[in-house]
Amino acid sequence: MNDALTEMLRGLRLDGVEYGRCRMATPWATAFPEQEAARFHFIGVGQAKLRKPSGEWLTLKCGDAVLLPRGHAHILGSGEDVRPAPFDRFGKKEVCQGIFDMQCASAGGDTVAFTASMRFNMDNLHPLLQLMPDVMLTSDLAKSDPAIPHLLEAMAREVELNRVGAGGILARLADVLTATLIRTWVEYGCGDSSGWLAAVRNPELGRVLAAIHLTPEKDWSVEELASLMGASRSSFAERFTRVVGESPARYVVRIRMHQARLWLREGMRVTLAAEKLGYDSEASFSRAFKRVIGAPPSQFRRKDTAGLEDAA
């Protein structure tokens, strides 16, 4: 992996919102709504069918795991013809903070699944997240990374043994597995040789993109970015626009506003976000934010806070 991708992935973190161990008796089906956070499922006992956002059905065997990095709506169930019940209808018993046991059936349970909601420490509009497939299946990536089968085996043992503290250990294993899946996908699975990924894989342009993403609070000028590539302003701007698909100045503003959106989602005040990005006033920041995101920061924050409460 080149230095730019290494640096971007080194800074990638996952913040778990909620984890749950579900026991289901056949027939069963659960509808998971669209959410801001990524969704993760691991089948510890039995098997399941997953209806992808595209409408296609995917068979999950015991020991399989899937990641939906952008949290699209989907269905998980014992079969394609079972009417799904909304996920939030099932009772939850809190084991410890953020970790629940859920009985997704009236009695018994021949299928055990571990599900999680996770937030990345990057905005959902980050180019890397936008390039990821709607559904990432562990069996597709396990051949490229020997760590993946070991992590799946460790999760299966925790589900099977059901020892004290298993929920917490499963949560940590899910975090590690998710980060490993993303790293492996970037290294081996994405196969995209155009656009943003082509730029970040290029040693010269990748250096520029890494600088923008790792220090989004800096208001980069085209001259400063050109110097990182060792090129003139005009030749740099032409090459950047041709490969990435937009001008350096527009790209910098977009990434800065995505970072601001992430800060606001985490609870930062609008005035502080404007200050961190070097804006002279909250009004000028709000205008720039609305141009990129499509809504003023205050309105966005209210909407996003409601989304978090719905997902929890």
Residues 112-141: pLDDT tens digits? Answer: 888 888 888 777 777 888 888 899 998 888
- Expressed as residue numbers, the domain containing 258 is 195-311
Are 42 and 118 contacting, i.e. CB atoms less than 8 angstroms apart? Answer: no
| 6 within domain boundaries | no
Handedness of CA 167, 42, 190, 53 (dihedral sign): negative
Distances (CA, A) of 85 to 79, 97, 110, 187: 13, 25, 18, 37
Task: Based on the fold, state whether residues 132 and 266 are members of the same structural domain.
Answer: no
Say if 242 falls within a structural domain.
yes
> 271 and 160, same structural domain?
no
Please check whether residues 18 and 137 belong to one and the same domain. yes
Q: What is the CATH number of the domain that holds 55?
A: 2.60.120.10
Please tell me which of 12-16, 68-72, 124-128 the model is most confident about, judged by mean pLDDT. Answer: 68-72
* Cα 142 from Cα 148, distance rounded (Å): 5
Average pLDDT over every residue of 150-171: 81
At 302 the pLDDT is 47
| Per-residue confidence (pLDDT) for residue 105, from 0 to 100 | 54
Residue 47, in any domain of the structure: yes
Domain boundary pick from 145, 172, 189: 189
**CA angle centred on 175, ends 85 and 203, rounded to 5°:** 120
> Looking at the structure, do residues 286 and 205 belong to the same domain, yes or no?
yes
Task: Identify whether residues 68 and 127 lie together within a single domain.
Answer: yes
Kindly state the DSSP code that residue 280 receives in the 8-state scheme: S
Per-residue pLDDT band at 190 (split at 50, 70, 90): low
Q: Is the pLDDT of residue 107 over 70?
A: no
For residue 29 the two structure tokens come to 């089906």
The domain boundary, picked from 189, 224, 257, lies at 189
Tell me: do 164 and 203 sit in the same domain: no
305 belongs to a structural domain: yes
Same domain, 149 and 297: no
223-231 mean pLDDT: 95
Render pLDDT for 39-49 as a digit per residue (tens, 0 to 9).
999 998 999 99
Residues 172 and 270 reside in one and the same domain: no
Residue 228: C-alpha distances to residues 27, 127, 158, 254, 298 (Å): 59, 21, 48, 20, 35
Helices 248-265 and 297-311: angle between axes, nearest 10 degrees: 50
Domain-located, residue 4 = no
Whether 185 and 199 share a structural domain: no
Overall domain count for the chain? 2
pLDDT digits (tens, 9 = 90+) for 244-300: 889 999 999 999 998 898 888 878 999 999 999 999 999 999 999 999 988 899 876
Q: How many CB atoms lie within 10 A of CB 145?
A: 19
Looking at residue 304, what is its pLDDT?
A: 45
CATH number assigned to the domain comprising residue 201: 1.10.10.60
**What is the distance between the alpha carbons of residues 239 and 205, in angstroms, rounded to a whole number?**
9
Where helices occur in 105-221 by DSSP H, the ranges are 127-131, 138-141, 147-161, 166-184, 195-201, 203-214
Is residue 151 situated within a structural domain?
yes
Q: Is there a single domain that holds both residue 104 and residue 161?
A: yes
Asked if residue 26 and residue 151 are part of one domain, the reply reads yes
105 and 149 in a single domain? The answer is yes
Residue recorded with tokens 């995209």: 192
Mean of per-residue pLDDT scores for the chain: 84
Residue 108 confidence (pLDDT): 58
Question: Are the C-beta atoms of 126 and 11 separated by less than 8 Å?
Answer: no
Lookup result for tokens 């015991």: 62
Closest to 67 (Cα-Cα) out of 128, 17, 137: 137
State the chain's maximal CA–CA distance in angstroms.
69
Residue 150 included in any domain: yes
Residue 309 scores a pLDDT above 60: no
Task: Tell me if 2 is assigned to some domain.
Answer: no
Out of 189, 213, 237, a domain closes at: 189
* Predicted confidence (pLDDT) at residue 306 exceeds the cutoff of 90: no
To the nearest whole percent, how much of the chain has pLDDT over 90? 40
